[in-house]
Chains A and B, each alone.
Chain A
Amino acid sequence: MTERVQYLIAQYLADPLRKEPRNVGVVARLGDRTLSRFLGEDEAGSFDKRKLKPLNQPDVFLQWVKYWQEQGQGVAKLEDLIDPDRSNYALIKGGEVFDTGNDPLEQVVDYLFSRFVGRGFAEAVREGDPVLVTSRQLAHSIAVEMLEMNILVSDHNTPEGILHPVRRRQPVVGGNSVVYRPEFSQENGALYLIETFDFTHGQGKRLHDHAGLTAYMYKDLRIQKGAGMHAISIVKSDPAQEDNEHTTNSKRMLQNEGDVIDWNDEVARAAFLEERRQVAVG
Chain B
Amino acid sequence: MPATHYKIADWGDPVGEGVSDARLISVSGVAKTSKATEPNIVANEYVCARLAAAVGLPIPPGFLVKEDGTSWFVSLNFNLSGEKLPPIIPRLLVARKPELCAGILLFDAWILNPDRHAKNLMHYEKTDAVQVFDHSRALMPTDLPQQQYATSMVNSPAIGAHCLAPVIADGSTFTHWHQRIMAVAEHQITDALNEAAEVGLEPANVNFFRDYLLDRRTRLPNIVAANTSVFPGLNLGTLPWTV
Chain A residues at the B interface, C-beta cutoff of 8 Å: 56-57, 59-60, 62-64, 66-68, 70, 85, 87-89
Contacts and interface: CB of A to CB of B under 8 A. Distances in A.
Given A60-B83, A60-B84, A88-B83, 8 more contacts: A56-B82, A59-B124, A59-B126, A60-B85, A63-B85, A64-B86, A67-B86, A67-B87
Given A66-B89, A67-B89, A70-B89, A88 B126 contact: no
- What secondary structure prevails in chain A residues at the interface with B? helix
A60 B81 CA distance: 8
A87 B122 CA distance: 15
Contacts of B67: none
B125 A63 contact: yes
A56 B82 CA distance: 9
A88 B81 CA distance: 11
A56 B83 contact: yes
Interface of B: 81-87, 89, 92, 119, 124-126
A65 to B, nearest CB: 9
A103 B85 CA distance: 35
Contact of A88 (B84, B87, B124, B125): B84
Nearest to B79: A60
A57 B89 contact: no
Contact of B81 (A57, A67, A70, A85): A57
B18 to A, nearest CB: 36
Nearest to A87: B84
Nearest 9 pairs between A and B by C-beta? A87-B84, A67-B86, A88-B83, A59-B126, A60-B83, A57-B83, A57-B81, A64-B86, A70-B89
Contacts of A70: 89, 92
Nearest to A70: B89
A89 B82 CA distance: 12
B84 A89 contact: yes
A85 B81 CA distance: 19
A85 B84 CA distance: 11
Contacts of A89: 83-84, 86
A275 B83 CA distance: 55
Nearest to A14: B83
A57 B81 CA distance: 7
A59 B125 contact: yes
A59 B86 contact: no
A68 B87 CA distance: 10
B82 A63 contact: no
Contacts of B81: 57, 59-60
Nearest to A61: B83
13 contacts: A56-B83, A57-B82, A57-B83, A59-B81, A59-B125, A60-B84, A60-B85, A62-B125, A68-B86, A70-B92, A85-B119, A89-B83, A89-B86
